[in-house]
Amino acid sequence: MQNVILTIHLILALLLIGVVLLQRSEGGGLGMGGGGGGVVSARGAANALTKLTWIFAIAFIGTSITLTIMSARQADGGSVIDQIGGTAPAPAQEQPASPLGTDLLPPGTSDAPIAPPRVDQPTEAPAQNN
């Protein structure tokens, strides 16, 4: 049922685009539109296109609301993971916090440096000869 309404929705969207593109611009309301008063005149065709635009727009909004309601009812069943058949990852076990703050390090690492520190100056003071 949802596919049928979606197909109708897409057809209405294309029809609505076509009808809007067929309408002639009135010059921004400056009185540049043509005159005349018959059903076959430019004004009569414009009124027919306006009415057709309203009909397509109302039907488009109706199918939009219908599709939204149908999607909301279908989505009540759970999460996306449930729909694809997967399993949720198990929650990680908590480890007691270290008082030194090393609990932020990845497991198997320590806070010791990887390489020894570089020595720029000698560690022993040079002996002074007096």
Quick: pLDDT tens for 112-125.
656 665 667 655 65
- Please state, in angstroms and rounded to a whole number, the distance separating the CA atoms of residues 109 and 101: 13
CB 105 within 8 Å of CB 111: yes
pTM, entire model: 0.48
What residue segments make up the domains of the chain, in order of their start?
1-23+46-73
Residues of the chain scoring pLDDT < 70 = 26-43, 76-80, 82-83, 85-90, 94-119, 121-130
Q: Which helix (H) or strand (E) holds 71?
A: helix 42-74
